[in-house]
Amino acid sequence: RQAAGKARAAYGLRIRNPVSNSLANASIATFEELTTRRRYEPLCFKHKQALAKCRGRIMARQRRLATKNARDGYKAKVYRVIDFGRTKRGIYGEIQTVEYDPYRNCRICLVKYEDGEHRYILHALGYFVGQQIISDIDAPPFVGNAMPLDK
């Protein structure tokens, strides 16, 4: 039991004290790996008509329920643009920050490439601020580097 608790603590999770049955195996993120609270605005966009906001009204109409359709005052969701394909080939980048993304299950990293461009990538265990990463065919096999699958 203690070994499992230490393993969870290594991943930035805090084990809840089991004072009730629902908290028996509960854990909470500690957010201690985050390095900034501000998002990088050029890689963000606001989306007011998100699917989650529309879904309730659409389903309510199908069931013929009365809903409040005049709801324009809610705050727009801010989405971060993530580079899933790691399309910057052969250019080294440095991890600047580790940030919290409220619409994802994992943290994200802001990477600044040598040509001055910034991009967000998904954070993995082993990334640290100041680490040099590259996405290339001949990249060394270290944590953070991206290579084709046939290599």
C-alpha torsion 79→80→81→82, nearest 10: -130
The three-state secondary structure class of 60 is: helix
The residue among 20 and 61 whose pLDDT is bigger is 20
The residue among 125 and 48 whose pLDDT is bigger is 125
Token readout for 135 is 């996405």
- Single pTM value for the model: 0.70
Q: Please give the mean pLDDT across all residues of the chain.
A: 80
Q: How far is CA 33 from CA 12, 24, 30, 39, 50, in A?
A: 7, 25, 8, 15, 29
Average pLDDT of the residues in 107-121: 95
User: 30-44, 78-92, 103-117 — which is least confidently predicted?
Assistant: 30-44
Asked if pLDDT for residue 51 goes beyond 50, the answer is no
User: 5-9, 77-81, 115-119, 126-130 — which is least confidently predicted?
Assistant: 5-9
Average pLDDT of the residues in 93-116: 92
Average pLDDT of the residues in 118-124: 93
pLDDT of residue 59: 46
Confidence band of 103 (pLDDT split at 50, 70, 90): confident
